[in-house]
Amino acid sequence: MSNSLENSEEKEKILYKSNIPNPIPSNPKTVLKEFLSLKKPQIIKLSISAIIIILFGIFNNINILGNPIPENDCYRDMGHEWFRPLNYYFRGNKAFCNFVCILGSLTIDIIFLFSYFSWAIYAVDWRFGATTMMFYGIRYIMNETARLRIPYLVYFPYPGFPSIVVGYIQGSDNFFSGHCGFPIISMMEFIWLKKFWLAGYCLCVTCVEWFLMCVSSYEHYTIDIIVGIIFSHYITIQGRYIVKYVYDKFKMLDRLKQKNRAELKRIKIDWDNGD
């Protein structure tokens, strides 16, 4: 019996050692031999690595070799340049301008109201509230830390229709876009609440806000829109884990499950599976 146990342990050790990747050899001959016996996936990855290294070397040194004196005015937004004719049309047609501004402000106001109503009625935790506070808190800190210049040709007039969320005061609080970021946060929340038609509406509103804020009015730089969308998605996921960590830390999760068992079943949320 003991011999069989020893044999099994030896087999496990052999298997364990065989699964350990080989360390990088220090002998030049061994390195050359392994390099000449590379397989196809390794050759592809090595080629991609070489291309990346060469591109970094070129782009990081081309200014030094070609033009060591940088331009004084570094502002350029390719997205604004692509859609400049539409911006001119937007500025020159007051009816179209008012329609797009009202459409943008009204749609995001509806999301704002629906999101907080759904959070208050259907959600069983503080995730959405914590996420929006983190999103706008970080945005406020970034805008107070570094003020950006107002985009060139910006035109965002008050269309005569009040808005809860959209402020028609032209300022330098550009980075990052809350108009496109907040609908993404709401979209993620509605997906977790299994309300997919509202999630689809949020996605449509994001497209409307991008059209209004970047393509037509130039209220935001193109990079504001892109970073706002990416960061809102990221902060939503992180806010979810932060809230769950707090519930676990203070042992609130079990009480939440017991107290809201019917609500959890109704909206199909399973905390144990990460939802």
Residue type for 199, please? A
Instruction: Look up the pTM and report it.
Output: 0.71
For 230-274, the pLDDT digits (tens) are 999 999 888 888 877 877 777 766 666 666 665 555 544 444 444
Residue-range definition of the domain harbouring residue 46: 2-66
DSSP for the chain? -HHHHHHHHHHHHHHHHHHSPPPPP--HHHHHHHHHT--HHHHHHHHHHHHHHHHHHHHHHHHHHH--S--S-----HHHHHTHHHHHHHHH-HHHHHHHHHHHHHHHHHHHHHHHHHHHHT--SSHHHHHHHHHHHHHHHHHHHSPPPPPTT------S---SS------S--SS-HHHHHHHHHHHHHHHTT-HHHHHHHHHHHHHHHIIIIIIS--S-HHHHHHHHHHHHHHHHHHHHHHHHHHHHTT-HHHHHHHTHHHHHHTT--GGGT-
Q: Which of 66, 89, 122 corresponds to the end of one domain?
A: 66
CB 205 within 8 A of CB 111: yes
Residue 71 forms part of a structural domain:
no
Q: Which of 18, 33, 66 is the last residue of a domain?
A: 66
Q: Tell me: the pLDDT tens digits for 66-119?
A: 555 555 555 778 888 898 999 899 888 888 888 888 888 888 888 888 888 888
pLDDT interval class at 24 (50, 70, 90): low
User: Is 119 found in the same domain as 44?
Assistant: no
Is residue 92 located within the same domain as residue 197? yes
Classify the C-alpha dihedral 187-192-198-204 as positive or negative.
positive
Average pLDDT for the chain:
77
Answer yes or no: do 170 and 265 share one domain. yes
Q: Check whether residue 11 and residue 110 sit in a common domain.
A: no
What span, in angstroms and rounded, lies between the C-alpha atoms of 179 and 156? Answer: 14
Same domain, 36 and 96: no
- Residues with Cβ within 8 Å of residue 86, at least 6 apart in sequence: 215, 216
CA pair distance 53, 24, nearest whole angstrom: 21
Total structural domains in the chain?
2
